[in-house]
Structure formats: structure tokens, C-alpha cells
Amino acid sequence: MKDYLINDEWKIIEEGFHPEYNRISESIFSLGNGRQGGRGNFEEHYSGDSLQGNYIAGIYYPDKTLVGWWKNGYPEYFAKVLNAANWIGIDITINGERLDLAKMKISSFRRELNMKEGTLCRQFTASFKNGKTIEVSVIRFLSIVRPEIGAVRYCVKPLNFDAEIVATPYLDFDVVNEDSNYDEKFWEGDYIENLGNEGYVSAYTKKTGFLICSGMKFNTLNGNEEQVLCIKNDCQEKFIGSSFKIGLKQAQELTIYKYAVNASSEYFRKPELVDKAKKLLNKAFEAGFDKLLKEHRLAWNRKWKTSDIVIEGDVAAQQGIRFAIFQLNQTYTGDDERLNIGPKGFTGEKYGGSTYWDTEAFCLPFYLSTSGPLVARNLLMYRYKHLPKAIENACKLGFNTGAALYPMVTMNGEECHNEWEITFEEVHRNGAIAYAIYEYINYTGDKDYLAPFGIEVLLGISRFWSQRVNWSEQKQAYVMLGVTGPNEYENNVHNNWHTNNIAVWTLKYTLESIQWMKELHPSEWLAVTEKTRFNDEAETNMWRHIIGKMYFPWDEERKIILQQDGFLDKELEPASAINPAERPISQHWSWDRILRSPYIKQADVLQSLYLFEDQYDKTFISRHFDFYEPLTVHESSLSSCIHTILAASVGKPEKAYSLYLRTARLDLNDYNNDTCEGLHITSMGGTWMSVVKGFGGIRVLGNALHLNPILPANWKSYCFRVNFRGNHLQVKVMPRTIEITNHSDGDLSLFVYAKSVTLLKNKTSVIHYSNI
């Protein structure tokens, strides 16, 4: 656990430079706008340890999977999110010495991520070996209004000497991925132009042929006067630089305004891409830095109005939740159904930047509650558009008749994960995608999504489940063999309870949806059956038989669900018995030792109890929490949030709070020693869930919103906002009092602690605990 960042309600602050943590800081200080993003790298040259990273949404490379063996159905490639052009670069030389913080004496340093405004600021004072001292201040942002545009204001001032400065703003497309095989590069140059203070480089990806045009344009101020510059242009392979020389008196400041464009062939026709990039860049240049920044700040203000969570009395908790909300809002904006949310977002190369089941299980609730319904619907449409590939994936593994297996990892619907125990076995992901359809409809009331989009997905997934099980003569029940559940510290197990449970639930929900289609959309249902060649009677009868005869592992003595067959054969020592020096065990133990241990990476049985909480009483859930949580090492970023929600629900507020801090500050404190690789973006959806679903107790039952809030002892109050079926609500929880403001033009009835409450339009209702 690291503790070098300053706690602040709206900012992430590094006071004093910590080069040993620089990669962690580069992840934490990342910026994005839904279309592009980049790590918190320095603009000027830095020879110390760094992971350079700028990324464009939807752009990837199908890297050949390297294995020493091959099996039928194994993915042919692993998708990599590609490091794109370094657009922030400004090389600075002062009196012949290159500015490089790795080689200078730093007397002051402050790096600051302003989450309220979406800006990255940096100030430092540093000295060369000869004692000459400079002061630098920088502000950078990626426009959330103009998604192709980024801007930098870079100021440098000699404090105790007169200086001759050579500044070189540049664009470098000759970049590499740190995780590439054999140091392979993935970009081929296409076009280059560099004239005066404006230049462009376009390049296309090998194999996939995505085309990106990156451009830059800059101007400078010497003091308050704009400078007429004598610029020396440089063009190399996939690189342009524009150098100029300027003299500064002691304490005189040079300001460079650099504007950049990154335009993608995903949004513009390739023959027009360079022209479009030029128009976008020059429009931004004409607007100027201050106007761009002002509109950017206003856009962020609008986002915070619908998504902010305010925690009073606990700055660390406040900072953590706002960091999560900030990253979610700058990673996915929901205006393009082709895009999704990679586990690292725009903050690193790990996991290939691809889509996992994390989106449906941990991110969808955030976007459902804080954005318009179209944003969440686009996440579902992403999977619907990939249904043909999901059917193809299942076919590769030997399934037939329209069975659909959604990939564990994907960019375009194809499976591209390179670990067999995940690719072939972690099939519970199919259930998460089916559940997302239910959750979207249950929350929005938009049941028409079923006709025809949702029902086709449900049919494909249900067909998969019906073929994935087999009949056990010994058990006289259906079983599911050779799977991996959410707990990836168990592989190739039989009858993982969560997988069996969500399979049965999916079959039930599909049958209910079919009946609804028959009654309300008969013509659409007929079209779907013809399109999918669905044999209604035979297939639904089979599903009903599976539902009634599925095997679920159970321990009668303890009255608990078993995670899988044979789980009680393990030595059930609690995770607290592990030597702290050996945590996380994934970085210290052999895989053999982990697999034989009882330790759980993330919620498994408890994942199902969270999803289907209304089917079990509190005593039952609490008994399972008390059995499984002590065995859980929480080494998945997706673990603590589910445990927080359940702990809050079953009356364990202290446990809920401690787990909340872990999920909220997972990256800020680097709990798992891996923030250097990038942030855990999808788990930040779980952080939001921890507050709203956990402490706020938000549920949707019987088409009505239910609240059962608790107030952690460390907090004076907390306040969150949710959209629900056209109503925008603000909920503030205080000791003995709850205030709910209906910021809408219509009344809304909901339940607070199971008591019906009517919220009048544009009014605040005050509810006292003693009256509930």
C-alpha cells in the first residue's frame, strides 16, 4: 500500500516528485474524453522510468497468440490497444542543456489532477548542475466537448539567470507498445507535413488498417506579447518537430500553447481524414486555449451535476468516490455503440484494452443511474451487434444450433483471450450479459428492448447453456463440468455454483421473455423464430427440464452453498493466516499452490447472492458472507465492491466501510501493487455501486425504487444522485434524517425502508428514521 498522494475532496495531488512511483502516478493522472486518452506523462523529455501511453478508442492490433501448444477453438490472436502518437511532447533545451527532471535537482514539485474541471496541472522548480534554476507550470486537458482535440499550456521561466531557450513542440508516431512481441511496431506511416507552426502525421495500423491523423499547431507568448518565430521544421519517419529559439531575461516567462488533433477513420472517411483533421485543429486554434478550457469546464460541470457523490466528514472516502466517477465519465461517454469500457480504459496497455464481462456486471449500473437511457442501451447494443460472432465463437468450440458464447475478451466480437482456463472455461460471462438485459429493462422499464434485440441474445445464450450441461446418471441431475467461476484462483472445476445458478436463471428469464413476446409482439416473435430457426416446443421443454433438474453443490451440515464440488476438501484456513509479506499471493505463490489453497480471488458464491439477493433472507446471506469472506484475498479489483454491498445489506456496517475504502482507493493507494500498469476502470463502477447500492441501499423491485440507506460511522452525511425512469433524484442521508429532492416535473412514488413515500415534483421530502 502506497500513501504518497494528498487527500483532497476534488483533486489528486502529488506534492514532491516520487520517481520510484512515477509509473503509478502516470496511471493515476491519466486523462480521457471517451474517444481518446493518455497517461500522465511529462511533456518535456524524461529519461527516468516511464510508460509512455496515448490511446485512441476502438483502435487495436490482432497480435498473434504465442503459445507452445494449440487446441481447437483457441483464439488466433490477442487484441492489443495500441500506443498512438505522442501529441503532448515539447522538448526544452536551456543554454544548451536539455530539460530532464531525472537529471536535475528538484526543489519543488506538484502534480495535480483537477477532477471537477478535467485538467492536469504540474508545477516544479528545478536546477541544473551549474545551479541555474527554472520554474515550469503546465496545464493540459483533452476536450470533452471536441473529442478529437487536446491542448497544453506550457510555461517556463529562468529564475536566477538569463536564458536562451530552444523549444521543440513535436508529434511522434514512431511509438511502441511495451508489451509487444519482439519489440514489433504496429504503425505504418501514411502522410507527413510540417510547415511553420503547424504539422500533421498520419499512420495506419498493420493488419487492421485503422487510419489516424495526428496534428499539432502552436503559438507562443514572451511575457504578454505573442512572438513571431523563426521556426526550423524537422520531418523524420512518423515524426515531426518544429524548433524555435528565444531569449529570456531573468524572471521572464515563455508560454507555449500547443493544440493537437487525433482524428480516426472510425469517424471520418479515409480519403478525407487529413482535411478533416486540419479543419478540426484550426477551428480549435482559432478558438484559443481559454475558450476551449472554459467550454471543457462547463461540460464537466454538467456531468458532475448528474453523477456527483458528496461525502461529508471523510476526505479519503470522498476523494476515492470522485476519482472513480471521474474516470468512468472520461472513459465512456455512450455516444457510440461500437465502443465499450476496457478494464484499463485509456490508462495502460494491460488486458489489451478490450471488453470483458466487467462492463455488464460492474459498469452498467453507473451509466443507468447517472446518464440518459441511451448511454446504457448502447452498451447492450454493443453485445447485440456482436451476437453473430458470439455464435461463431460457440461453433468453434463444438456448439451448434445458434448457441452463443460471448467472448471473455473482445474488440470486435471475436474471442481474443490467450489463457485456456479463461477462454474455454469462464463461461459465467454469458450469464452476466443476459443479466444486463434484465437489469436494463428492470431499471428503465424499456421492455421493448426485447423485441427484437434482447430476445435474440437471450435465445443464443440459453441455447449455449442447454448444450453446456450434461446429464449425470449418478446424480440424476444436470451438471456443468470443467468450468472456472468468478474466482479465478480455481480452474477446471465441476459445478461451480454461481455458473450453474446463473445458467438456470437465464433459462427462466428467457422463457418469461418468450411468453411476453408471444403476447405483446407476436409478429416480431415469429420473425425471430424464423431468423434463428428456433424450435419452440422442443427447446423450451429441454430448458424446463434443465431448470428442474440442475445440480447445485450444498453442505447440509453447515447449511451453505458450496462454491464447487470438492471445495470442502481444502484446508480452510482464513486469509488472515497468510504471511503479510506474501500478499498479494498472485505475486508470491506458485499457481499450483494457489489452486490447492482455499483462497478466493473475488466474490463467487457471493456474486450470485448479490445478483439474486431478493431470493434469500438476510440470515442466509449473512451465513454465507461469514463463511466465504474470511477466505477471500480480494486480489481482484472487482472483489471488494460486492462484499461492501452485501456487508451493508446484512448489518455489518464496519466491515462494509473497510471494504469500501479498499475499492475506492484501490489505485490511489496501490493496494495490489499493479497500478503502474494502469487503473482498474471497470472496478470503479463497483466503487460507485458500493455507495449507491451498498450504503444507499438502492434496489428496483416490482417496478418501484427502494431505498434502505445506512450511514457509516465515519461519515457525517452523504449525498448521491440517480436518474430513474425520467426522474432525477438527489438523496442525502444524515443522522436520523433522509432528504430526497425530486428534480423533475412529475411526482414519483418509491419506498424508503419498505414504507411508501410520494415525492412531489421539484420538491424536497424529509424523512425521519423514527417515522419509518
Compute the distance between CA of residue 665 and CA of residue 662 in angstroms, rounded to an integer: 5
Compute the distance between CA of residue 665 and CA of residue 619 in angstroms, rounded to an integer: 30
Burial (CB count within 10 angstroms: exposed 0-12, middle 13-18, buried 19+), residue 581: exposed
Q: Where are the beta strands (DSSP E) in 625-707?
A: 699-701, 704-707
Q: Where are the beta strands (DSSP E) in 356-486?
A: 470-472, 477-479
Compute the distance between CA of residue 457 and CA of residue 438 in angstroms, rounded to an integer: 12
Cβ pair 124, 109 in contact under 8 A = yes
Residue of 262, 157, 131, 246 whose CA lies nearest to 203: 262
Burial (CB count within 10 angstroms: exposed 0-12, middle 13-18, buried 19+), residue 196: exposed
C-alpha count within 13 angstroms, C-beta hemisphere, residue 662: 21
Burial (CB count within 10 angstroms: exposed 0-12, middle 13-18, buried 19+), residue 603: buried
Cβ pair 10, 322 in contact under 8 A = yes
Compute the distance between CA of residue 139 and CA of residue 290 in angstroms, rounded to an integer: 11
559: left (phi over 0), alpha (psi -120 to 50) or beta: left
What's the distance, CA 425 to chain centroid?
Answer: 23
Q: Which residue has the cell 479543419?
A: 279
**Per annotation, catalytic residue among 43, 488, 539, 629:** 488
Q: Which residue has the cell 466537448?
A: 145
Burial (CB count within 10 angstroms: exposed 0-12, middle 13-18, buried 19+), residue 538: exposed
> What is the DSSP track for 329-342?
HHH--SS-TT----
- List all residues 6 or more positions away from 729 whose beta carbon is below 8 Å from its beta carbon: 721, 722, 723, 740, 741, 742, 743, 744, 748, 759
Is 117 catalytic? The answer is no
Residue of 225, 209, 226, 215 whose CA lies nearest to 282: 215
Residue of 206, 341, 261 whose CA lies nearest to 678: 341
Over the Cα atoms of the chain, what is R_g?
A: 27
Cβ pair 712, 656 in contact under 8 A = yes
Catalytic residues: 488
